[in-house]
Structure 1
Amino acid sequence: MPPTATDPVGRRSRRAAMSASAVCPPRVSVIIPAYNAMPELTRSVTSAMDQTLGLDRIEIIAVDDGSTDGTGEELERLARACPALHVVHQGNSGCAGSPRNTGLDRARGDFVFFLDSDDYLGPDALRRMVAMADDNGTDIVLGRIASVGGRAVPRAVFSHNQPRTDIFSSHAYLTLGPWKLFRRSLIERLRLRFPPYRNCEDKPFTAAAYLNASGISVVADYDCYYVRYREDRSNLTLTASDLAHRMDGIRLCFETVARHLEPGPRRDQIMRRHVEWELCGPLRGLLPRESEKDARERFFPEFRDLARTWVTDTIFQRIDAPDRLLVHLLRTDRFEDVLTVARNAKEDAGRGHLVDKGRVFWLHPFFRDHTADVPDVCFDITDRLPVRHRLDTACWHGGVLRLTGHAAIEGIDAIDADTDVILRAYESDRPEVRVPTTPHTSGFTADIDPATADGGAPLDRGLWNIYLDVRAQGVSRIVRLGGNREDGAEHGPPRRAVTMPRGEPVVVVPYITPYGNLSLDVGEVAHAPSREAPCRVTRTAWHGARKGVLIVVGRLTGEAAARCRDGGTLRLRAESGTGTVREVAARFEPGGGAGAFTARLPVGRLTAGRWTLTLVLEGRTVVVPCLGRLAGIRWFRFGRPYYAKPLTRRAAPALALEVAPIKVAAGLRRRLRRARARFRG
Structure 2
Amino acid sequence: MSRTTPPRVSVIIPAYNAMPEVTHCVRSAMEQTLDPDDVEIIAIDDGSTDGTGAELDRLARTCSRLRVVHQPNSKGAGGPRNTGLELAAGDYVFFLDSDDHLGPDALRRMVAMADANGTDVVLGKMVSVGGRAVPTAVFSHNQPRTDVFSSHAYRTLGCWKLFRRSLIERLGLRFPPYRNCEDKPFTAAAYLNADGISVVADYDCYYSRNRQNGNNLTLTAADLVHRMDGTRLCFETVARYLEPGPLRDRIMRRHVEWELCGPLRALLPRESEQQARERYYPQFRQWALDHATDGVFQLLAPQDRLIVHLLRADRFDDLMAVARHARRDAARGHVVDKGRVYWAHPFFRDPAKAVPDACFDATDRIAVHHELTEAAWTAEGEVLRLSGHARIDGLGPLQPGSRLTLRPSGFRHPDVHVPVTLDAAPPRPGTDTREQDRTDGAGSGTNRYTVDVDLRTAASGAPLGAGTWDLRLDLRAQGVSRTVRVRQPKADADDPAPTPPVREPATGSRPEPATARLRSTPDGHLALEIRRTGTAAEPACRVTGIAWDASAPGTLVVRGHLTGEAAHHPVALRAQEDSGRVREAPLSYGPDGRGFTARLPLARLRPGRWALTLRPNAGGTPIPVPHTDRLGGTRWFRASRLGRPSYAKPLPRPPEGVLTLRVAPIRLTTALRRRLARSGDRHRDRL
Q: Secondary structure at the match of 2:154?
A: helix
Check conservation: 2:400, 2:422, Cα contact below 8 A. no
Check conservation: 1:490, 1:511, Cα contact below 8 A. no
**Which residue of the other structure, out of 468, 474, 477, is the alignment partner of 1:472?**
477
Question: Is the counterpart of residue 170 in structure 1 residue 151 in structure 2?
Answer: yes
Moved more, 430-439 or 150-159: 430-439
Change (3 A) 1:402 1:363: same
1:492 deviation in Å?
Answer: 5.4
1:259 deviation in Å?
Answer: 1.0
In 1, Cα distance between equivalents of 2:304 and 2:352:
20
**Which structure 2 residues correspond to residues 120-139 of structure 1 after superposition, within 5 A?**
120-139=101-120
Check conservation: 2:391, 2:398, Cα contact below 8 A. no
In 2, Cα distance between equivalents of 1:189 and 1:379:
44
**Which residue of the other structure, out of 235, 246, 249, is the alignment partner of 2:216?**
235
Check conservation: 1:451, 1:500, Cα contact below 8 A. no
In 1, Cα distance between equivalents of 2:218 and 2:97:
12
In 1, Cα distance between equivalents of 2:314 and 2:25:
47
After superposition, give the CA deviation of every residue in 1:250-277 in whole Å (9 maximum; x if it has no partner): 1111111111111122111111111111
1:495 deviation in Å?
Answer: 4.2
**Which structure 2 residues correspond to residues 625-640 of structure 1 after superposition, within 5 A?**
none
Partner of 1:413: 396
After superposition, give the CA deviation of every residue in 1:35-57 in whole Å (9 maximum; x if it has no partner): 11111111111111111113211
**Which structure 2 residues correspond to residues 334-483 of structure 1 after superposition, within 5 A?**
334-397=315-378, 398-414=381-397, 416=399, 418-427=401-410, 430-442=413-425, 443-483=448-488
Partner of 1:509: 517
Partner of 2:622: none
Check conservation: 1:450, 1:498, Cα contact below 8 A. no
In 2, Cα distance between equivalents of 1:274 and 1:497:
52
Check conservation: 1:418, 1:472, Cα contact below 8 A. no
Change (3 A) 1:291 1:220: same
Check conservation: 1:490, 1:516, Cα contact below 8 A. no
In 2, Cα distance between equivalents of 1:272 and 1:491:
38
After superposition, give the CA deviation of every residue in 1:500-542 in whole Å (9 maximum; x if it has no partner): 86621122221112222111122279xxxxxxxxxxxxxxxxx
TM-score w.r.t. length of structure 2: 0.72
In 1, Cα distance between equivalents of 2:355 and 2:411:
39
1:417 deviation in Å?
Answer: 5.1
After superposition, give the CA deviation of every residue in 1:526-572 in whole Å (9 maximum; x if it has no partner): xxxxxxxxxxxxxxxxxxxxxxxxxxxxxxxxxxxxxxxxxxxxxxx
Check conservation: 2:377, 2:503, Cα contact below 8 A. no
Q: How many residues align?
A: 507
Partner of 1:599: none
After superposition, give the CA deviation of every residue in 1:143-175 in whole Å (9 maximum; x if it has no partner): 111111100011111111111111111111111
Change (3 A) 1:380 1:27: same
Change (3 A) 1:447 1:230: same
1:490 deviation in Å?
Answer: 7.3
Check conservation: 1:511, 1:519, Cα contact below 8 A. yes
In 2, Cα distance between equivalents of 1:499 and 1:331:
65
In 2, Cα distance between equivalents of 1:498 and 1:133:
44
Change (3 A) 1:408 1:31: same
Change (3 A) 1:495 1:60: farther
In 1, Cα distance between equivalents of 2:45 and 2:314:
45
Moved more, 435-444 or 114-123: 435-444
After superposition, give the CA deviation of every residue in 1:59-95 in whole Å (9 maximum; x if it has no partner): 1001111111111111111111111010111111111
Change (3 A) 1:60 1:272: same
In 1, Cα distance between equivalents of 2:199 and 2:215:
30
Change (3 A) 1:225 1:272: same
After superposition, give the CA deviation of every residue in 1:621-654 in whole Å (9 maximum; x if it has no partner): xxxxxxxxxxxxxxxxxxxxxxxxxxxxxxxxxx
1:93 partner amino acid? S
In 2, Cα distance between equivalents of 1:493 and 1:471:
31
Consecutive unaligned residues of structure 2, counting only runs of 5 or more, are 426-447, 534-652, 654-687
In 2, Cα distance between equivalents of 1:429 and 1:479:
21
**Which residue of the other structure, out of 263, 270, 274, is the alignment partner of 1:282?**
263
Check conservation: 1:491, 1:512, Cα contact below 8 A. no
Question: Is the counterpart of residue 56 in structure 1 residue 61 in structure 2?
Answer: no
Runs of 4+ off more than 6 Å: none
Question: Is the counterpart of residue 272 in structure 1 residue 253 in structure 2?
Answer: yes
Q: Secondary structure at the match of 2:407?
A: strand
After superposition, give the CA deviation of every residue in 1:86-139 in whole Å (9 maximum; x if it has no partner): 011111111110100000000000110000011111111111111111111111
In 2, Cα distance between equivalents of 1:250 and 1:417:
48
Check conservation: 1:360, 1:380, Cα contact below 8 A. yes
In 1, Cα distance between equivalents of 2:233 and 2:532:
47
Check conservation: 1:496, 1:509, Cα contact below 8 A. no
Consecutive unaligned residues of structure 1, counting only runs of 5 or more, are 1-18, 526-619, 621-681
Q: Secondary structure at the match of 2:402?
A: strand
**Which residue of the other structure, out of 49, 65, 79, is the alignment partner of 1:84?**
65
Check conservation: 2:401, 2:419, Cα contact below 8 A. no
1:506 partner amino acid? A
TM-score w.r.t. length of structure 1: 0.72
1:489 deviation in Å?
Answer: 3.1
Check conservation: 1:325, 1:379, Cα contact below 8 A. yes
In 2, Cα distance between equivalents of 1:458 and 1:217:
39
1:497 deviation in Å?
Answer: 2.7
Change (3 A) 1:366 1:493: farther
1:218 deviation in Å?
Answer: 1.0
**Which residue of the other structure, out of 182, 196, 219, is the alignment partner of 1:215?**
196
1:484 partner amino acid? P
After superposition, give the CA deviation of every residue in 1:10-49 in whole Å (9 maximum; x if it has no partner): xxxxxxxxx4x71111111000011111111111111111
Change (3 A) 1:403 1:371: same
Q: Secondary structure at the match of 2:295?
A: helix
After superposition, give the CA deviation of every residue in 1:212-251 in whole Å (9 maximum; x if it has no partner): 1111111111111111111111011011111111111111
Check conservation: 1:133, 1:139, Cα contact below 8 A. yes
Change (3 A) 1:494 1:85: same
In 2, Cα distance between equivalents of 1:182 and 1:351:
44
1:227 partner amino acid? S
Q: Secondary structure at the match of 1:330?
A: helix
**Which residue of the other structure, out of 161, 167, 174, is the alignment partner of 2:142?**
161
After superposition, give the CA deviation of every residue in 1:161-206 in whole Å (9 maximum; x if it has no partner): 1111111111111111110111111111111111111100000100
2:120 partner amino acid? D
Q: Secondary structure at the match of 1:421?
A: strand
In 2, Cα distance between equivalents of 1:497 and 1:204:
55
Q: Secondary structure at the match of 1:22?
A: coil
Change (3 A) 1:436 1:268: same
Change (3 A) 1:362 1:519: same
Check conservation: 1:492, 1:511, Cα contact below 8 A. no
**Which structure 2 residues correspond to residues 506-585 of structure 1 after superposition, within 5 A?**
506-523=514-531
1:371 deviation in Å?
Answer: 0.5
- Pairwise CA RMSD of aligned residues? 1.8
Question: Is the counterpart of residue 310 in structure 1 residue 291 in structure 2?
Answer: yes
